């Protein structure tokens, strides 16, 4: 089997992230066939940004051609074309609160769980009743049971707040991947 030249540009917060995004997109479009000639069957060998920067336009073109010719099958080299810019926002998330009107009322419950099947058999407010029911269940099914004590909110809202991320004012970097893919 042969090889095909790879030239892909992707945005990401890092070179690794951009490479992973490029691989995921190629995999979803062209499948997992090893010889599809796409970047998802390649390994990122190294970052060659330092050698690429400072070259003239002609030298950059020659450099890309040389890497494409010299890269072994399945090898890809990365170049950072634009550095990512970190967000200058101080807050990276926002909080939406759900205030409770009135007092919350809690009640103690004894939860009986089937140990083997990891399912809840029932819950009772009285420990004696919970033990009685657990024994009856165990004798009937032959499965071991656990009894756990817990506090349960009686009425009112369970959710007190949502925390969601905020998109910052940062920008992703732009990365170029060049090399050779199995074909």
Pick from 144-148, 157-161, 165-169 the range whose average pLDDT is largest: 144-148
Residues 6+ apart with CB under 8 A from 57: none
**Residue-wise burial string across 21-46, b where 16 or more C-beta atoms lie within 10 A, e elsewhere:** bbbeebbeeeeeeeebbbbbbbebee
pLDDT at 26: 92
Residue 108: closest CA among 159, 154, 157, 146: 154
| Overall size of the chain counted in residues | 183
pLDDT at 42: 92
pLDDT at 1: 64
Radius of gyration of the chain (CA): 30
Checking if the pLDDT of 25 tops 90, the result is: yes
Per-residue pLDDT tens for 113-129? 998 888 999 999 999 99
Calculate what percentage of the chain has a pLDDT beyond 90.
Answer: 57
Checking if the pLDDT of 105 tops 90, the result is: no
Angle, CA 28 vertex, CA 24 and CA 34 arms, to 5°: 80
pLDDT at 139: 94
Q: Grade residue 12 by pLDDT with cuts at 50, 70 and 90.
A: very high
Per-residue pLDDT tens for 31-87? 888 888 889 989 999 999 999 998 898 999 999 999 988 889 999 999 999 999 887
pLDDT at 160: 87
Measured in degrees and rounded to the nearest 5, phi and psi for residue 165 equal -70, 150
| pTM for the model | 0.57
Q: Grade residue 147 by pLDDT with cuts at 50, 70 and 90.
A: very high
């Amino acid at each position: 089997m042969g090889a095909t030249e790879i030239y892909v540009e992707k945005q990401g917060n890092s070179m690794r992230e951009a490479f992973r995004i490029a691989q995921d997109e190629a995999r979803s479009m062209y499948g997992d066939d090893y010889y599809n000639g796409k970047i998802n069957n390649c390994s990122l060998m190294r970052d060659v940004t330092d050698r690429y920067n400072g070259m003239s336009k002609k030298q950059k073109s020659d450099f890309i051609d040389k890497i494409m010719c010299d890269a072994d099958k399945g090898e890809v080299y990365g170049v950072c074309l634009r550095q990512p810019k970190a967000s200058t926002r101080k807050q990276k998330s926002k909080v939406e609160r759900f205030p409770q009107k009135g007092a919350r009322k809690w009640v103690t419950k004894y939860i009986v769980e089937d140990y083997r099947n990891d399912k809840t058999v029932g819950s009772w407010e009285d420990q004696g009743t919970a033990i009685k029911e657990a024994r009856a269940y165990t004798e009937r099914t032959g499965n071991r049971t656990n009894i756990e004590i817990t506090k349960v909110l009686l009425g009112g809202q369970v959710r007190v707040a949502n925390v969601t991320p905020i998109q910052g004012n940062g920008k992703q970097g732009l990365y170029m991947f060049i090399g050779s893919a199995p074909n």
